[in-house]
Amino acid sequence: MRTLPKRQSMTLIPARITVDGSGDTDEVGILIDGAIRPGTGPEQKLISRSDGRVLAVVRSAGPTDVRTAYQVAAEAAPAWGATGPAARAEVLHRAAELFRERATELAPIISADMGKPASEATVEVAKGAAVLDYYAELGYRRLGTTYRTDFDEDIFTIVEPLGVVALITPWNFPFTIPIRKLSAALAAGNAVVFKPSTNAGITGLMIAVTLLDAGLPPGLVQTAIGRSSVIEEALLSAPELDGVSLTGSYEAAVAIRSRLRMEVPFQAELGGKNTIVVWADADLAKAVDIIAASSFRNNGQICTAAGRLLVHTDVYDELLDMLSTKVRAMTDMSGPDELGILVSDREADRVEEYVSLAGDDARDVIRPEPGGWREGRVSPAVLVDPDTGPLTTEEIFGPVVTFEAVSDIDEAVAKANATAYGLTSGIVTSDVAVARRFWKGSHAGTVKVNSPLTGVPFHVPFEGYGHSGAGWAEGGESSLEFFTRTKTVYLRS
């Protein structure tokens, strides 16, 4: 095996996820059967988004590694499925404690992995720990129902885990999204083959080893960092595979669904082109704050972020002036208002290509004043009165939002629904009747009134319509429903 130079003292890579466990190299691998080992796939460099240095070289997974992962998981699944809720809860609660204890170690890794601001990364770890505690206690929920028939017969249902599930997660929330899926899958009694994004591979490994440190049996979480082009076939065609949960793009969901056996359940939380309506009676100062939190947080790299504003004509000019003032004063300052960095240069270029369309397709482009943004960072953009087309219908996934006028609620609903997506939408108004007309007409799985679109509590259902989702909702007990199946038993004396 090739030996890398001794690590610099400022490295973020914990020794326990390096391939030899010594900490002498920054070469990390994959997690199979409780051990970090070099994968048989190609080497990949993980580059820090904050300063461009090489964080680690990943010995990534190959198809044979994925086959081994499934075999190990299938062997471990039955015993965990037969384990009672108290034992599962003990492991999940202990994991939550460990993540809280390790937050100061994890937050810088998350920031370096994919560019999230340090303040956001710290909050993400805290939320993930709370998710673990929540699902730990859901093991004690009511399970099954009973029925009677005309034949002196008792019928009852029992809930069983699916078995071995694949979890495929993105880079934009590299801690909380995997934790949501892992917590629910493990609480329901499943074993997991976990494929985190390669842009968040170090975070994914840290999640997995911390679960093992909490006492999770080693066969229950296999972590395969690898290129989809290399391992996708092995990941999706395994005979042991009993379910797939994805957070990603519509295109990825289509490709995955086409490869799965018909009987394999599939859950997908996908992207969105999400709209906020600002009504004539809105508190405009509140509206500006809601827009900023909805469109620019995490540099717009949130599936629920607002990409379109529809503003009542009565307040159009005033709100545009107020929002323009706020945006022009923005900088990429450090601190709680830092917007972070787009996850890759490729993503940054893609977002800027959308903004460049506004030169011909919009009346104006509002961006911060020059000088407040470091090289390589994408500043927020408000695209004023764009033509109907890609800017108004496609997910940009960056700190970009369009600004358009509407004159009545029917027009607002029609424009908000004029996209293939249907994840979130919102309205700012004090008129409940107007809000009700909007939420009843909105083709979105989540509708918010007077609050930012970003931020979804982990204990409530979260479902996308159209190109924004497929299968079961995520969140709360909905996730447990996906990770289980129901058996009906007929009993005659």
Distance, in Å, from the CA atom of 173 to the CA atom of 179, rounded to the nearest integer, reads: 10
Q: Provide the β-strand partners of residue 366.
A: 382
Instruction: Identify the CA nearest to 208 among candidates 29, 66, 47.
Output: 29
Give me the half-sphere count of Cα atoms (radius 13 Å) on the Cβ side of residue 232. Answer: 13
User: Percent helix, strand and coil across the chain, each rounded to 5?
Assistant: 40, 20, 40
Neighbours of 468 (CB within 10 A): 29
**Residue appearing with tokens 């490994």:** 205
Residue 110: CB partners within 8 Å, gap ≥ 6? 116, 121, 124, 125, 174, 175, 200, 203
Catalytic entry in 269, 395, 404, 474: 269
Per DSSP, the three-state class of 437 is helix
Q: Is 97 in the active site?
A: no
Structure tokens at 320: 């545009």
Catalytic entry in 27, 120, 240, 303: 303
For 290, left (φ over 0), alpha (ψ -120 to 50), or beta? alpha
Angle separating helix axes 284-295 and 316-328, nearest 10 degrees? 50
Structure tokens at 102: 């390790």
Written as one letter, the residue type at 440 is K
Written as one letter, the residue type at 400 is V
Instruction: Identify the CA nearest to 470 among candidates 273, 305, 251.
Output: 251
Written as one letter, the residue type at 79 is A
Distance, in Å, from the CA atom of 462 to the CA atom of 482, rounded to the nearest integer, reads: 13
H or E element in which residue 491 lies: strand 484-492
Catalytic annotation, residues: 269, 303
